[in-house]
Structure 1
Amino acid sequence: MISYNKVILIGNLTKDPEIRYTPSGTPVASFRLAVNRRYKQGEEFKEEVCYIDIVVFGKQAESCGQYLNKGSGVIVEGRLQERRWEGEDGQKRSKHEVVAQTVRFLPRRQESAVGGQVMADKSASGGEPSLSPSVPAGVPEEESALGGLENDVPF
């Protein structure tokens, strides 16, 4: 049977990320993302909010803890996971969360579109993620190689 588990979300943090460390010292960031869905019902527009728990590991977790706070906009790419545990009362519990593989920081409203930061995915060789400038929406990636000159007037 073929299966595919990929989640892409755009939203805002509901509070500052929490940073903790595994027994082996790996940083883990967790935060809740609010994702809005706007739809039309009859003649009026309505909006509903979905809250999703996100977990980030490694260098990306450290960057999330350092640069993100309540209200920060992010694009999260990852996989859906069910976590199971036994509560203090002995009851079995579970919840779904997204384990992020890539977290892209969206620019704040007062920042320029070029000034945002992107947390790049780990390379195929298993290297650490790198921090690089984000590409403004609508600008093909090929143009971003111009090193920020894409906004210069050509005359």
Structure 2
Amino acid sequence: MYETYTTVIGTVVSDPRHRQTSTGEPVISFRVACNSRRIDKRTQEWIDGPTLYLTVSCWRRLLTGVSQAVAKGRPVIAHGQIKTNEYVTADGERRADLEMTATAVGLDLSRCVVSFEGAPGREPSVAGTTTRPVGSEVEGAGADAQTPTAA
């Protein structure tokens, strides 16, 4: 089997789903939509290209961070191994779904601002992570000011 790794940049379009496998191993999965955009040379307007949808599955070390930071509507960057899952629906229809087993997931800092809390010299605590969309500056807020969590 060939291992194909890729990185996708997109928007979370489903609430993250927490579940356990039949062996009791926890996993979090969510759907991501990725669009390309380009300028139409004739009209000089932005045009959306086709949308790629895929399921991102997160295991082991990613569970804590993803459960704290990823939510529907947030901009993400995910990297991992990608594969196609083929299945048959209850109606007997054959379908295929693109799935990524993520090795890294983060918020896309070109589309949101993230602040976190952590002790100096130690890894930051994910529990204190907050985000807000880029361009939604809080008047009078300094670099370490708390901001409301973006939905």
Would you say same fold, with TM above 0.5?
Answer: yes
Residue in 2 that maps onto 1:99: 101
Counting only pairs closer than 5 Å after superposition, residues 115-130 of structure 1 correspond to structure 2 as: 115=116
Aligned length: 117
CA distance in 2, matches of 1:83, 1:62: 26
Residue in 2 that maps onto 1:53: 55
Deviation of 1:69 after TM superposition, in Å, equals 0.9
SS at match of 1:111: strand
Structure possessing the higher relative contact order (Cα contacts under 8 Å, 6 or more residues apart): 2
Evaluate the alpha carbon distance shift between residue 67 and residue 111 of structure 1 in structure 2; reply closer, same or farther with a 3 A threshold. Answer: closer
Counterpart code for 2:84 = E
Deviation of 1:79 after TM superposition, in Å, equals 1.6
Evaluate the alpha carbon distance shift between residue 31 and residue 131 of structure 1 in structure 2; reply closer, same or farther with a 3 A threshold. Answer: farther
Confirm whether residue 111 of structure 1 aligns to residue 110 of structure 2.
Answer: no
Supply the RMSD in Å over aligned alpha carbons: 3.0
Question: Which protein has the bigger helix share?
Answer: 1
Evaluate the alpha carbon distance shift between residue 99 and residue 39 of structure 1 in structure 2; reply closer, same or farther with a 3 A threshold. Answer: same
Deviation of 1:68 after TM superposition, in Å, equals 1.5
More off after superposition, 48-57 vs 70-79: 48-57
Q: Structure 1 stretches of 5 or more lacking a match?
A: 117-129, 134-155
Residue in 2 that maps onto 1:6: 5
CA distance in 1, matches of 2:124, 2:103: 14
Deviation of 1:110 after TM superposition, in Å, equals 4.8
Question: Which protein has the bigger strand share?
Answer: 2
Evaluate the alpha carbon distance shift between residue 6 and residue 33 of structure 1 in structure 2; reply closer, same or farther with a 3 A threshold. Answer: same
CA distance in 2, matches of 1:90, 1:96: 19
Residue in 1 that maps onto 2:79: 77
The normalised TM-score by structure 1 is 0.60
Evaluate the alpha carbon distance shift between residue 20 and residue 62 of structure 1 in structure 2; reply closer, same or farther with a 3 A threshold. Answer: farther
Evaluate the alpha carbon distance shift between residue 104 and residue 85 of structure 1 in structure 2; reply closer, same or farther with a 3 A threshold. Answer: same
Counterpart code for 1:81 = K
